[in-house]
Amino acid sequence: MQRGKKLVLLELDEVNDNDLLVSPYYVGSVAKRKVSKTQTIEEPFVEAISIIERFFGKKVGATVPSEIGGGNTAAALAIASQLDIPTVDGDLMGRAGPELHQSTIHIFGIPPTPAAIVSESGNKVLVEATSSVDDYESIARHISVISGGHAAVVDTPLTKELAKKCVIPNTLSLCIQLGMVREQSEEKGKDPVQAVVSKLKNGKVIFKGVVSKYKWEDKAGFLFGEATLEGVGEWRSHTLKSWIKNEHIFAFLDDKPYVMPPDLYTFVTPRAKGITNDALKEGMEVVVIGASAPEIWRSEAGLKLFGPRHFGFDYDYVPFEKLAR
């Protein structure tokens, strides 16, 4: 925006019927990485979009965020701004998630390919088709690992008709609302955490504590970890543990399930500013906010991709609003 560019959000109904929509995002670990590869491609997303445009023989008309996450929502907005095209007010997850499996397209049988994967180190790959989402995840993740930690992906070519099936609408405008109410509450001397909670689906403060232990490792293209919080205030004498795979996935209160995937819980500061897992540190004071997942993820097909057993936990899914009462 400082360079005179604009961020343009469109409702799906405002998209042209013949527009080609794509989803640009980074694949890789969220761990801070040491640059170990020589950068030969300055704008990997621009290159990836040009590969897709050459394949289809037409220009991309708009971007669709793959998820609501600090890096990947920004990626969809940034490349759209750079190319002077809009971004759809919605995304393909309704929250953040660690794997390529967590995309609504798989529930509707929409392929993520053709896809372009480009790294700053110089790798440029066109994936015309894959046999399964498992294989696609492995291909993209492997390219990110050998490329130094992450790679730029442009995939999920959609028509407006297909997008109406799979896009979870108005999630970017909800993010803007969350940011506005947080700032406004601070200006008025009110609690910004409660202001944020009031805008979320079944939003609730589910824990307050201090990070007593945080162990993580950067492995196979993911940040794997476990964070332990010791409770304060009304949560004193209680412990919350979070199992992490890039994102917070499964929370346990005193070693009992508390929030299961696909439901959302997030760590914020007492002033309701988000804490990403690469920045989380022992000794931090943390407020944990919980909220319900979009209904599409609670379907049988959705739970196969985003439920407890998908991540190796032998539990039947119980909705957040029942578990965290």
Same domain for 139 and 49: yes
pLDDT score for 315: 98
User: Do residues 15 and 78 share a domain?
Assistant: yes
Count of domains in the chain? 2
Q: How far apart are CA 299 and CA 293, in angstroms?
A: 11
Could you count the other beta carbons within 10 Å of the beta carbon of residue 34? 7
178 is a domain residue:
no
Are residue 21 and residue 67 in the same domain, yes or no?
A: yes
Query: What is the CATH number for 82?
Result: 3.40.1610.10
* 3-class DSSP state of 99: coil
Residue 69 lies in a domain: yes
* 220-240: pLDDT as tens digits: 889 999 999 999 999 999 999
Together in a domain, 162 and 257: no
Q: What is the pLDDT of residue 50?
A: 98
Q: What is the pLDDT of residues 22-50, one digit of tens each?
A: 999 999 877 766 555 688 999 999 999 99
Q: Which residues contact 189 (CB under 8 A, 6 or more apart)?
A: none
Residues 63 and 120 in one domain: yes
Please check whether residues 38 and 164 belong to one and the same domain.
yes
What rounded mean pLDDT belongs to the chain?
Answer: 95
Same-domain pairing of 15 and 154: yes
Structural domain ending residue among the three candidates 169, 190, 225: 169
Give the predicted TM-score (pTM) of the model. 0.93
Summarised one tens digit per residue, pLDDT across range 2-21 is 889 999 999 999 999 999 99
Beta bridge partners of 250: 243
Q: Is residue 211 part of a domain?
A: yes
Report the pLDDT value the prediction gives residue 270, as an integer from 0 to 100.
Answer: 97
pLDDT in tens, 56-77: 999 999 999 999 987 899 999 9
Question: Which residues lie closer than 8 Å to 266 by C-beta, 6 or more apart?
Answer: 248, 274, 288, 289
Q: Which domain holds residue 227?
A: 200-323
Say if residue 282 is in the same domain as residue 219: yes
Residues 34 and 129 in one domain: yes
Q: Is residue 183 part of a domain?
A: no
Write down the pLDDT at residue 63: 98
Q: Report if residue 185 sits inside a domain.
A: no
Question: Does 143 share its domain with 238?
Answer: no
**pLDDT, greater one: 138 or 325:** 138
What does the alpha-carbon distance between residue 154 and residue 165 come to, in Å, rounded to a whole number?
19
Q: What are phi and psi of 283, to 5 degrees?
A: 95, -15
